[in-house]
A and B are shown apart, each in its own frame.
Chain A
Amino acid sequence: MNAVTASATGFLARYEGLTGRLPGDPAPRRAARDILLSAGLPHLREEGWRYTNLAPLGDARFHEALTEASGFTGDDDLPSLGGLSELPRLVFVQGRFSSAQSVLPELASVRSFAANAEFGALANPGRDRLVALNTMLAEDGAIIEVAEGVDAGSLVLISAGRDIHGTPVAFHPRHSIRLAAGARLTLVEMAVGHGQYLHNPVTEIVLGEGAALSHVRLQNEGLAAYHLATVYADIAARATYDSFTLCAGARVARTELLVRLHGTGGHAAINAAQLLRGAQHSDFTTVVRHEAPGCASRQTVKHVLAGRARGVFQGKIEVDRLAQKTDGYQMNQALLLSPDAEIDCKPQLEIFADDVKCSHGATVGELDSEQMFYLVSRGIPQAEARALLVQAFLGEALDMVADEPARAMLDDVISSWWVHEG
């Protein structure tokens, strides 16, 4: 067995140990196992993984999967919710649904994957091997459904993780979000934790015709954690998927958003900000696939990198032959605050239709010295001036978060990040 496949060995052994105890149809899990057995975890020599090294993941010895939620959680393990505290929330601890800490919504149906395990049709474990890993080992997750025409308001989805007495833990939640035609939902996802653990969630989102999902995601995992998230979103005609992701946590993170616009007039926004310092590595990878005519996609991604942090952005817009009148836009900007920080970006266009308007832009640089001077000359201290300019830089992406409590929560995370940094 070569070094590549060896990296999945620990996970494969765990799967064998759990046989018969995992919920749902075992067939997809076996298929996922076979994929990992032959191809292993993604490695640097693969084009989509040239900037993110998962080798340390194979070396880390993760604890036996938990078959039930261990009761370590006090509410102090949960993030501060601020204005979101009034909202219904689903709390997952170590990947398991914690009903005691959750407040179920009235207008959306919520079921657990543990009791209703079903693998959706969007996931592609053959291509996306972290999804194969999830499929093989998923124990729990949230199944959220909003019925036709219903505006379900806002819902918070929290994941809290931590190592157990210094031993790392791995969990692979499987979420599914379905909005029927004309339904609406604002989903605020927050991932937090302490110590070393692996959080490898897969989320499948299906939006019916004219549905609208506003998806605000905070990745603020513990600074020793691995966060490897994959989100699939299928968007029907005239539906809107409006997402914003803030990546501030984890030692190694990869967020992959795979969006498919398959109905005329669909709209997707995949905005993000990454705030990294120390030795953090965060990879934000997106593929927006236009398969139907007259769809629009918008993407603004900002990186602020301090210390020895490394930010990665890979963004691909694919336009199918049938997707005439596509309007695709993508902007990726990075601010390097330290001589040891690094940004790698690969914004891609892959276009097979001729009547399209697609553009992307990327810039990398440091803070504008003239702007700095202007602020300082008005008596603003250096550190504050830097903070002001960085927040202005991030503002362009953050301003796309329309939901006020969610925006306030993100602003709080950014301010406290800045307190540590400044």
Chain B
Amino acid sequence: MPAIAETLNTVQSVADNGYKWGFETDIEMEFAPRGLNTDIVRLISERKGEPAWLLEWRLAAFSAWQGMEEPVWALLNYPKIDYQDSYYYAAPKKKAGPASLDEVDPELLRMYEKLGIPVSERAILAGVEGAEARPPMAVDAVFDSVSVATTFRSTLAKSGVIFCPISEAVREHPELVRKYLGSVVPPTDNYFAALNSAVFTDGSFVFIPKGVTCPMELSTYFRINAKNTGQFERTLIVCEEGASVSYLEGCTAPMRDENQLHAAVVELVVLDDAKIKYSTVQNWYPGDAQGRGGIYNFVTKRGACRGARSKISWTQVETGSAITWKYPSCVLQGEGSVGEFYSVALTNNHQQADTGTKMIHIGKNTTSTIVSKGISAGHSNNTYRGLVRILPKAAGARNHTQCDSLLIGDLCGAHTVPYIECRNPGAKVEHEATTSKISEDQLFYCRQRGLSQEDAVGMIVNGFCREVLKELPMEFAVEAQKLLAVSLEGSVG
């Protein structure tokens, strides 16, 4: 059972109305000093036991970042971030490597329980492998800045699949990391990517060799726990020719009055005929009903379809974070390659989201599909921002974009900002967008059948999102539905 499933069950008892993942875990932490400078960058690199080339790479990114300006074009409004006021490295204090699970702090295991990391996973974490695992799912858990445990590694290794913390991959598979790291999102790509490149501490690394279909779904849980700590994880997934993988990520954080920064980078590479399906359920702490606290989520996600007929599919359900700035994108280089973006972004209370995608069509006969569903409630603002760019050589390129917004209440905003740039006459681009509200007639119909107002809204909202939710792996989808309903609590009636 995926994380949020059990989380939801757990949650009901954890907190009263509002954010239900807000527990804090009391674990002994090791922090680097507050602030950001080259010493911190060096310290992170040193703690990770990194080779010289990576330190140089980080330092170059840091120096570039210092010369860059924070982007202001998004429809987001937040106070200036003091980058010197945060910790850039926090790790649970532990002894040797994570192989020895007995040494993991019991508090950490309790956190897994609260997070709802699958029962079978917890069994495995507890060393009881072989429990009735349904189609199993391998899990990498990233706690603050550090990957604390990765499961099912030996099973995966048998098929040649590498699934490990990226810090470990740097040591164990340096040639692969060096070849692909920064090849999709260069360190100087944008302000937040440069920051991440300088200070990233961990994240997941996945490598699926030629011809291999990953035997199970891979999953990473990201958890911010420590105070005043930024989280900068870096994920790199490479699928060689004909390989494929389905990857899920879930994110939660404790309730805190101050804002915390999360600036991740995700890079995907697919070669000929390879496929990556990347699903996200983002439920970072959104702040309270008055807009205090919450995660600032500035994320750069991009996939390169380098091979012919390759495919990258992004699916995201974004319900958390005070600020979301995120545009999972596809660079469609390979002939006949396919990019997809399915998104549900729900904002309530004082949340702000500016999210969407970029589809860059470079190769011939490349196709992309964008389905975006935005739901705004409370005082929130929700913006879809998407770019479809057809370059001169992309003859036969196709894009279809469907972009729908739903408003709940009259104090929120729903915005749509698509950019369509076409430089090939043989391409075909279609964009449709609508904005509407839940009709009184629909609500009344449901209530006349005995559904409460909130259940009726939940049901209609889930119907509105169906095209996206059906792209999620089945159980994830069921739980995402519940998450949408929970996130809308208090927005109606």
- Chain A residues with a Cβ under 8 A of chain B: 47, 321, 324, 334, 336-366
Residue of A nearest to B438 (CB): A354
- Partner pick for A362 among B408, B415, B418, CB 8 A cutoff: B418
Residue of A nearest to B431 (CB): A362
Residues of A within 8 A of B159 (CB): none
Of B204-212, B270-278, B286-294, B419-427, the stretch lying at the interface with chain A is B419-427
Show 23 A/B contacts (Cβ-Cβ < 8 Å), sorted by A. A324-B410, A339-B392, A339-B424, A341-B425, A342-B422, A343-B421, A345-B419, A346-B418, A347-B416, A347-B418, A348-B416, A349-B433, A350-B415, A354-B410, A354-B437, A358-B434, A358-B436, A359-B435, A362-B418, A362-B430, A363-B428, A364-B420, A365-B428
A366 touches B426 (CB 8 A): yes
User: Which residue from A47, A340, A342, A365 sits with its C-beta under 8 Å from B73?
Assistant: A47
**Within the complex, what minimum Cβ distance (angstroms) separates A43 from chain B?**
14
- The 6 A-B pairs with the shortest beta carbon distances in the complex, nearest first, are A336-B425, A354-B407, A364-B429, A362-B431, A349-B416, A358-B435
The answer to whether A360 touches B407 (Cβ under 8 A) is no
Q: A354-B409, A358-B434, A362-B430 are in contact. Are A336 and B422 (CB under 8 A)?
A: yes
Besides A354-B410, A364-B428, 8 other A-B contacts (C-beta < 8 A): A339-B392, A346-B419, A351-B413, A354-B408, A363-B429, A363-B431, A364-B422, A366-B426
B69 to chain A: closest CB distance in Å? 11
In whole angstroms, what is the CA distance A350 to B382 when docked? 10
Whose C-beta in chain B lies nearest to the C-beta of A361? B432
With the chains together, A206 CA to B426 CA distance in Å?
43
* Interface: B405 (CB within 8 A): yes
Q: How far is the CB of A142 from chain B (nearest CB, A)?
A: 36
- Which chain B residues border A347 with CB–CB below 8 Å? 416, 418, 431, 433
* Chain B residues closer than 8 Å to A341, beta-carbon distance: 423, 425
Q: In chain B, residues 381-420, which have Cβ atoms closer than 8 Å to a Cβ of chain A?
A: 390, 392, 405, 407-420
**Residues on the A chain within 8 Å of B73, using CB:** 47
Bound complex: CA A344 to CA B436 (Å): 26
Q: Determine the main DSSP class of B at the interface with A.
A: strand
Distance, CA A343 to CA B431, complexed state (A) = 14
Residue of A nearest to B409 (CB): A354
Distance, CA A347 to CA B432, complexed state (A):
10
For the complex, give the distance between the alpha carbons of A352 and B405 in Å.
Answer: 12
| Least CB distance, B189 to chain A, in whole angstroms | 17
Q: Which chain A residue lies CB-closest to B424?
A: A339
Question: Which residue of the partner chain, among A338, A346, A359, A364, contacts B427 with CB atoms under 8 Å?
Answer: A364
Q: Once the chains bind, are A349 and B435 in contact (CB under 8 Å)?
A: yes
Which one of A358, A361, A363, A364 has the highest number of Cβ atoms from chain B below 10 Å of its Cβ? A364
Q: Does the CB pair B412–A354 fall under 8 Å?
A: yes
**How many angstroms between the C-alpha atoms of A342 and B421 in the bound complex?**
7
Asked if A334 contacts B422 (CB within 8 A), the reply is yes
Report yes or no: A348 in contact with B422, Cβ–Cβ below 8 A. Answer: no
- Which A residue's beta carbon lies closest to that of B419? A346
In this complex, the interface size class of chain B, counting residues with CB under 8 Å from chain A, is 35 or more
Q: How far is the CA of A404 from the CA of B474 in the complex (A)?
A: 59
Please indicate the chain B residues that have their CB under 8 angstroms from the CB of A344 in the complex.
419-422
- In the complex, which of the residues B392, B413, B434 contacts A350, with contact meaning CB atoms closer than 8 Å? B413
Q: Which residues of A contact B420 (CB under 8 A)?
A: 343-346, 362, 364
Chain B contacts for A353, CB-based, 8 A:
407, 410
Q: Report which of A321, A338, A351, A362 forms a contact with B425, defined as CB distance below 8 A.
A: A338
B406 nearest CB neighbor, chain A only = A354
- Chain B residue with the shortest CB-CB distance to A348: B417
Asked if B425 and A361 sit within 8 Å, CB to CB, the answer is no
Chain B residues, Cβ within 8 Å of A324:
410
Q: Which residues of B contact A363 (CB under 8 A)?
A: 428-431
Chain B minimum-CB-distance residue to A334 = B422
- Contact among B408, B411, B417, B426 for A346, CB-based, below 8 A: B417
Query: CA A354 – CA B424 in complex, angstroms?
Result: 38
Nearest A-chain residue to B410, judged by Cβ: A354
B400, closest chain A residue (CB)? A363
- Which chain A positions have C-beta within 8 A of B423? 341-342
- Chain B residues with CB below 8 A from A349, complex form: 405, 414-416, 433, 435
Q: For the complex formed, measure the closest distance between the CB of B491 and the CB atoms of chain A, giving whole angstroms.
A: 11
Contacts of A348 in B (CB 8 A): 415-418
Q: Tell me, rounded to whole Å, the shortest Cβ–Cβ distance linking A320 to chain B.
A: 10
In the complex, which residues of chain B have a beta carbon less than 8 angstroms from the beta carbon of A334?
Answer: 422
Residues of chain B with a CB closer than 8 A to A340's CB = 392
Residues of B within 8 A of A360 (CB): 416, 431-433
B424, A336: Cβ atoms under 8 Å?
yes
Within 8 A of A (CB), among B113-130: none
Q: Which residues of A contact B405 (CB under 8 A)?
A: 349, 351
Q: Is the CB of B416 within 8 A of A362?
A: no
- Residues in chain B near residue A336, CB distance under 8 A: 422, 424-425, 427
Q: How far is the CB of A45 from chain B (nearest CB, A)?
A: 10
Asked if A339 and B433 make an inter-chain contact with CB atoms under 8 angstroms apart, the answer reads no
A363 to chain B, nearest CB (A): 5
Smallest beta-carbon distance A93→chain B, Å: 39
CB A87 to nearest CB in B, in angstroms, measures: 39
Contact at B427–A365, with CB atoms within 8 Å?
yes
Smallest Cβ-Cβ distance to B408: which chain A residue: A354
The closest CB in chain A to the CB of B437 belongs to A354
Q: Are A361 and B424 in contact (CB-based, < 8 A)?
A: no
Q: Are B435 and A351 in contact (CB under 8 A)?
A: yes
Which A-chain residue is minimally distant from B382 (CB atoms)? A351
The answer to whether A356 and B436 have CB atoms under 8 Å apart is yes
User: Within the assembled complex, what's the spacing in Å between the Cα atoms of A339 and B394?
Assistant: 11
Q: How far is the CA of A341 from the CA of B415 in the complex (A)?
A: 29
Query: Of all chain B residues, which has the CB nearest A349?
Result: B416
A341 nearest CB across to chain B (Å) = 7
Instruction: Report B-chain residues with C-beta under 8 Å of the C-beta of A357.
Output: 435-436
Rounded to whole Å, the gap between the CB of B371 and the closest CB of chain A is 15
List the B side residues contacting A358 at CB < 8 Å.
434-436
- Cα distance, A346 to B414, chains bound together (Å): 16
Report the Cα distance A340→B409, complex, angstroms: 46
